[in-house]
């Protein structure tokens, strides 16, 4: 480890480029280099405690630790205390761009996409409250006359003397990223007031995912340098979809050429914090929340409300969490959609606090997920609040982060060797327990790689970087579906789920991925085959939405069931 001068920047780290320095300068910013697989966590962040230089990213990133770290030089410790240190991931392919963070203008131009209930209310809040940090509000809606209506309405909100409110302007879709802040408020599905149970937000995920991802790709094409803010539900997984899709090339491979993690943030936690405060004002048992309470996580299932940090009470905190989590359902019971408080508390108010550099609630990228936390935007990047948390609260946060990692399966195609390794592991486990699974000799590269199932067809699925499953996905299958033309359907074979992920809905996540691939290719169905007498497997696939499309008898007497799911 040592200090180096590189392109007028002071770097600290093993193997850092540049000219070695004898000592640390007393005033300049210190860039502490670390190495981690790109797009699995923060690529740059202000270092507010020396423990951040060595600790793994995760729930511990939210805990305060004032202890000195062995091996950290005393002058670097002092620079951290002075607020002069920032961390940079040297393994990111564009890490040198992170050496100079852009300085935003004093007032920023905001563009807002989709003026539904949430979007229009959010625009109203920005118009009324954002004059100190907004130069203009651009609005875009693809429906006829909607943007015209709101430009007309919002610009007529004023005082006789003129209140200095930011002007509202119509922007077309081709200039949607000509701004400093982009607000994604679009949705392909919003449950009506008849929906009064369940996690309403997650019901919107698959329909809204591709829409959000398409704007992530558009941000990449436009080399967008500003903030990409997600307001649509479900906020946290949509943020992740935007980030990852913006960083994929035409072949679908992650290349790091899109948005940086610190450019993407979600605005959903603010209303949960406000709802918890609402209940705390009404019930004196929760009064501590008003001065010392916190909220973490998504604004739905997995939300964590702490009644207090210093006087944490697990039972009270869980009760307050349930009240807060279900407030939207209480509003639906009244016959109304719950959108006003989210649009203002999560949207307008939280965004304006963010742009002012003040503490607020929003979702930021931590340990491969977007997690709602209290944070602020500084000239050195996003600073996450660190607290001396009780272990019981930290355990709840760990559970939530683990659940968020299970929302979407990350699939790497073309990894035949690792896929076959997983298949052999799962098959061996099953055979040892008397299950009828493929013998070892059938699970080799020579046996599995064919003309229709080339190496590119072998897929490995992971949650949070941990391998969960493997399968073969091909686009023609003349063995079982001889009359079907190539590309008509997707054919799923050898789906194997590792034991650590059994019972965690992995087959459904695999199907979500395949459905997205079908839409890209124009395929109309997903097909697979199993033995006719495999009742357990049959029940799984029927429950997932497959239908038995055929029956095939083999020369050896075995009978196979052919399954199909329309997409």
Instruction: Write the CA distances from 90 to 16, 36, 47, 94, 224, integer angstroms.
Output: 9, 8, 15, 8, 22
Mean pLDDT of 82-94: 96
Cα distance between residue 385 and residue 443, in whole Å? 49
Q: CATH 3.40.50.720 region(s) of the chain? A: 108-266
Least confident of 41-45, 187-191, 474-478, 482-486: 187-191
- The answer to whether 420 and 458 are in contact (CB under 8 A) is yes
Which CATH number applies to 108-266: 3.40.50.150, 1.20.120.160, 1.10.10.350, 3.40.50.720?
3.40.50.720
- For 264-292, the pLDDT digits (tens) are 999 999 999 999 999 999 999 999 999 99
User: Can you give the pLDDT at residue 201?
Assistant: 58
The secondary structure of residue 410, as a DSSP letter, is E
Q: What is the pTM of this model?
A: 0.93
- For 497-536, the pLDDT digits (tens) are 999 999 999 999 999 999 999 999 999 999 999 999 988 8
CA 233 to chain centre: 12
368 Cβ contact partners less than 8 Å away, ≥ 6 residues apart? 40, 41, 405, 464, 465
Name the residue among 507, 512, 515 with its Cα closest to residue 541. Answer: 507
269-404: CATH number: 3.90.110.10
Does residue 68 carry a pLDDT above 80?
no
Instruction: Write the CA distances from 562 to 157, 341, 403, 526, integer angstroms.
Output: 62, 49, 33, 11
Q: Which residue has the higher pLDDT, 206 or 260?
A: 260
Strand-pair category, 3-6 with 9-12: antiparallel
Q: Which two tokens stand for residue 128?
A: 């009324």
Alpha helices in 34-73 (DSSP H): none
Cα distance between residue 264 and residue 102, in whole Å? 15
- The answer to whether 190 and 118 are in contact (CB under 8 A) is no
Cα distance between residue 438 and residue 6, in whole Å? 56
Whether the CA torsion 406, 412, 418, 420 is positive or negative: it is positive
User: Can you give the pLDDT at residue 195?
Assistant: 47
- For 426-439, the pLDDT digits (tens) are 999 999 998 888 89
Instruction: Write the CA distances from 345 to 26, 230, 377, 560, integer angstroms.
Output: 41, 14, 18, 56
Percent of the chain residues past pLDDT 70, beyond the cut: 96
Q: CATH 3.90.110.10 region(s) of the chain? A: 269-404
4 Cβ contact partners less than 8 Å away, ≥ 6 residues apart? 10, 11, 12, 16, 17, 18, 19, 20, 21
CATH class, 410-566 region: alpha beta
- Give the bridge partners for 365, in sequence order: 370
Alpha helices in 262-415 (DSSP H): 269-282, 289-292, 314-325, 327-333, 340-341, 350-355, 391-405
- For 22-62, the pLDDT digits (tens) are 889 888 999 999 999 999 999 999 999 988 987 788 898 99
- For 352-407, the pLDDT digits (tens) are 999 999 999 999 999 999 999 999 999 999 999 999 999 999 999 999 999 999 99
The secondary structure of residue 167, as a DSSP letter, is P
- For 313-362, the pLDDT digits (tens) are 999 999 999 999 999 999 989 999 999 999 999 999 999 999 999 999 99
Name the residue among 308, 307, 227 with its Cα closest to residue 267. Answer: 227
Instruction: Write the CA distances from 36 to 39, 43, 88, 176, 219, integer angstroms.
Output: 9, 9, 10, 33, 24
Q: CATH 3.40.630.30 region(s) of the chain? A: 410-566
Mean pLDDT of 145-157: 98
């Amino acid at each position: 480890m040592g200090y180096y001068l590189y392109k007028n920047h002071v770097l600290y780290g093993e193997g850092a480029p540049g000219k070695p320095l004898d000592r640390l300068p007393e005033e300049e910013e210190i860039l502490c280099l670390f190495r981690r697989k790109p797009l699995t966590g923060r690529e740059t962040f202000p270092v507010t405690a020396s423990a951040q230089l060595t600790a793994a990213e995760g729930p511990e990133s939210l805990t305060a630790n004032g202890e000195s770290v062995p091996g950290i030089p005393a002058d670097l410790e002092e620079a951290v205390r002075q607020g002069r240190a920032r961390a940079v991931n040297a393994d990111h392919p564009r890490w040198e761009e992170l050496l100079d963070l852009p300085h935003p203008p004093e007032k920023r131009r905001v563009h807002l996409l989709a003026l539904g209930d949430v979007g229009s209310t959010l625009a109203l809040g920005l118009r009324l409250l954002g004059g100190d940090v907004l130069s203009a509000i651009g609005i875009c809606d693809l429906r006829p006359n909607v943007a015209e209506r709101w430009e007309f309405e919002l610009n007529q909100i004023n005082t006789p003397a003129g209140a200095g409110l930011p002007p509202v302007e119509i922007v077309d879709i081709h200039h949607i990223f000509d701004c400093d802040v982009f607000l994604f408020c679009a949705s392909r599905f919003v449950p009506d007031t008849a929906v009064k149970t369940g996690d309403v937000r997650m019901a919107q995920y698959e329909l809204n995912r591709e829409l959000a991802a398409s704007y992530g790709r558009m941000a990449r094409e436009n080399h967008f340098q500003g903030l990409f803010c997600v307001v649509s539900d479900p906020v946290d997984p949509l943020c992740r979809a935007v980030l990852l899709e913006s960083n994929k090339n035409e072949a679908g491979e992650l290349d790091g050429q899109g948005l940086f993690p610190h450019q993407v943030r979600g605005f959903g936690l603010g209303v949960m914090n406000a709802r918890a405060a609402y209940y705390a004002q009404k019930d004196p048992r929760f009064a501590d929340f008003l001065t010392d309470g916190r909220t973490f996580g998504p604004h739905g299932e997995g939300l964590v409300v702490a009644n207090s940090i210093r006087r944490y009470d697990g039972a009270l905190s869980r009760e307050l969490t349930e009240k807060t989590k279900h407030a939207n359902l209480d509003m639906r019971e009244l016959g109304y959609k719950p959108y006003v408080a989210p649009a203002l508390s999560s949207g307008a108010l939280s965004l304006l606090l963010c742009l002012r550099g003040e503490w607020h609630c929003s979702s930021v990228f931590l340990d491969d997920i977007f997690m709602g936390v209290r944070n602020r935007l500084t000239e050195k990047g996003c600073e996450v609040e660190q607290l001396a948390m009780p272990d019981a609260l930290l355990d709840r946060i760990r559970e939530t982060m683990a659940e968020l990692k299970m929302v979407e399966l990350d699939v790497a195609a073309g990894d035949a060797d690792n896929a076959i390794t997983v298949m052999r592991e799962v098959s061996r486990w099953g055979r040892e327990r008397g299950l009828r699974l493929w013998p070892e000799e059938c699970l080799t590269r020579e046996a599995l790689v064919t003309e229709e199932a080339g190496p590119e067809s072998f897929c490995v699925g992971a949650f949070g970087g941990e391998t969960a499953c493997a399968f073969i996905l091909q686009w023609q299958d003349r063995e079982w579906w001889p009359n079907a033309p190539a590309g008509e359907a997707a054919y799923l074979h050898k789906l194997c789920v590792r034991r650590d992920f059994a019972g965690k809905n992995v087959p459904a996540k695999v199907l979500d991925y395949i459905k997205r691939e079908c839409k890209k290719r124009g395929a109309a169905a997903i097909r697979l085959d199993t033995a006719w007498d495999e009742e357990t497997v049959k029940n799984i696939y029927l429950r997932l939405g497959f239908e038995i499309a055929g029956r095939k008898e083999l020369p050896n007497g075995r009978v196979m069931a052919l399954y199909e799911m329309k997409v």
